Homo-oligomer: A and B are copies of this chain.
Amino acid sequence: MIRVSILGTGNVAMHLRQLFLELKDVEVVQIVGRNTKILQSLEERTAITSNFEDILDADIFIIAVNDDAIAKVSQFLKDKKGLVVHTSGSVSMDTLSQCKRYGVFYPVQTFSKHRKVDFKSVPICVEAQDDRDVLLLETLANKVSDAVYQVNSKQRKALHLGAVFVNNFTNHLFHIGQQICEENELPTAILQPLIQETSAKITNLSPYDAQTGPARRGDFKTIEDHLEQLNGSEFQDVYATMSASIEKLYR
């Protein structure tokens, strides 16, 4: 039995709580957070507190709060014997160094309130100061995911950077596509099948080989046409930079 407490009431915290509650050999000791409204809704199945001085003992404390609140929350755990981890891709593990035992439990996924994620396929990257703690985190991670990786801090930071490219920036491109549709009185749904196929395609083809389009072909006439269409648009820079980067790669 692994006794786990979760600090935080955001999307990651709530997804982890739900997963752990479904497991027989994991006990959710307590949910700790400031949002009393959310806490009350959890009370039926889990012990809760909004008082950070009232944290019970546990084997693992998972701090799933905003990056810039991690250090502050960890202060309340510095006398605990249990392992303290955060769930962030970008925050240094040493942010927790005032705790006796510390590490990272980073799920490489984007979580939304109203979307259920198939956690079994979500990669979880674990890291800890002590080798035995790495093992403990791997044991916990393996209970919820089929894709557990031990990574070092440098790798985790690289992974987070990669995630910004493939998630944050990609989503912004989707927004731009939608804007272009709206400005031209086209239904935004019209680009959806293309968006879905773009992602599906790279499950059996490398993005390098899957690349198409004017920049890949070196079709400067179309690129100039497109830049002209984007005259006065805030997205002209994005077009120019992305096209230049693709051209350079295939030149």
Cβ of A113 to closest chain B Cβ, rounded Å: 10
**A193–B121 touching, CB < 8 Å:** yes
Contact of A190 (CB < 8 Å), options: B147, B200, B214: B147
Contacts of A222 in B (CB 8 A): 67, 90
Report A136-193 residues with CB < 8 Å from chain B CB.
147, 149, 151, 154-155, 157-159, 161-178, 180-181, 183-187, 189-193
**What residues on B are CB-neighbors of A68 within 8 Å?**
219
Q: Which residues of B contact A169 (CB under 8 A)?
A: 173, 238-239, 242, 246
Nearest to A180 among chain B residues (CB) is B162
Do A112 and B201 touch (CB < 8 A)? yes
Report B-chain residues with C-beta under 8 Å of the C-beta of A174. 166, 170, 199, 202, 207, 210
Chain B hits for A158, CB < 8 A: 180-181, 183-184, 186, 229
Q: Which of B122, B190, B207 contacts A178 (CB 8 A)?
A: B207
A218–chain B nearest beta-carbon distance, Å: 12
Name the CB-closest residue of B to A119: B193
Considering the complex, which residues of chain A in the window 233-251 have a beta carbon less than 8 Å from any beta carbon of chain B?
A: 234-235, 237-239, 241-242, 244-246, 248-249
Evaluate contact between B249 and A244: CB separation under 8 angstroms.
Answer: no
Q: Given A67-B222, A164-B213, A174-B202, does the pair A155, B234 have CB atoms closer than 8 Å?
A: no
Do A177 and B149 touch across chains, with their CB atoms under 8 A apart?
no
- Select from chain B the residue with minimum beta-carbon distance to A181: B162
Interface string of A89-125 (1 = CB under 8 A from B): 0100000000000000000111010110100011101
* B186 & A155 in contact (Cβ 8 Å cutoff): yes
- Cβ of A225 and Cβ of B90 under 8 Å apart? yes
Q: By the criterion CB–CB under 8 Å, are A166 and B198 in contact? A: yes
Q: List 21 A-B contacts (CB under 8 A).
A: A68-B219, A109-B197, A115-B200, A155-B186, A157-B225, A159-B180, A159-B190, A159-B191, A162-B180, A164-B213, A166-B174, A166-B176, A166-B195, A167-B213, A168-B214, A170-B170, A171-B212, A172-B207, A192-B203, A195-B199, A241-B242
Knowing that A110-B197, A149-B186, A178-B207 touch, tell me 7 more A-B residue pairs with CB under 8 angstroms: A109-B194, A155-B186, A165-B176, A165-B177, A168-B212, A170-B170, A171-B202
